[in-house]
Amino acid sequence: MDYFLICIVALLGSGLTLFSGFGLGTILFPFFGFFFPIEIAIFLTAIVHCLNNFFKLILLGKNANTQVLLYFGVPAFIFAALGAYALSIINDMEALGSYTFVGETFYILPIKVGIGIILLFFAFVDVVPSWSKLTFDKKYMPLGGMLSGFFGGLSGMQGAMRSAFLIRAGLSKESFIGTGVVIATVIDLSRMGVYIENLPEEAMDIDFTLIMCATLSAFIGAFWGNRLLGKVTLKTIQMLVALFLILFAILLILGIL
Q: What is the pLDDT of residues 63-75, one digit of tens each?
A: 899 888 999 989 9
Residue 211 or 113, more confident: 113
Question: Between these two residues, 158 and 60, which has the higher pLDDT value?
Answer: 60
Rg of the chain, C-alpha, whole Å? 17
pLDDT at 117 over 80: yes
Summarize the confidence of residues 157-167 as an average pLDDT.
71
pLDDT at 125 > cutoff 80: no
Which segment of 66-70, 135-139, 165-169 scores lowest on mean pLDDT?
A: 135-139
pLDDT value of position 16: 62
**Quick one: pLDDT at residue 59?**
81
Element (H, E) at 118: helix 110-127
pLDDT tier at 79, thresholds 50, 70, 90:
very high
More confident residue, 156 or 82: 82
The candidate with the shortest Cα–Cα distance to 156, out of 200, 207, 203, 122, is 122
Query: Would you place residue 199 in the very low, low, confident or very high pLDDT band (cuts 50, 70, 90)?
Result: low
Average pLDDT of the residues in 131-155 = 78
Per-residue pLDDT band for 238 (boundaries 50, 70, 90) equals: low
Give me the chain's average pLDDT, please. 76
Give the pLDDT score at 120: 82
Cα distance from N-terminal residue to C-terminal residue, the chain: 19
Where does the chain show beta strands of DSSP type E?
A: 97-101, 104-108
Q: Rounded mean pLDDT of 253-257?
A: 81
pTM: 0.66
3: left (phi over 0), alpha (psi -120 to 50) or beta: alpha
- The predicted-structure confidence for 19-64, as pLDDT tens digits, reads as follows 555 567 767 777 777 777 777 777 777 788 788 888 888 888 888 9
How is the chain split into domains, by residue range?
Answer: 3-254
Long-range CB contacts (within 8 A, 24+) of 231-236: 232/16, 232/19, 234/16, 234/17, 234/19, 234/20
Q: How far is CA 210 from CA 31, 45, 203, 204, 213, in A?
A: 13, 12, 14, 14, 5
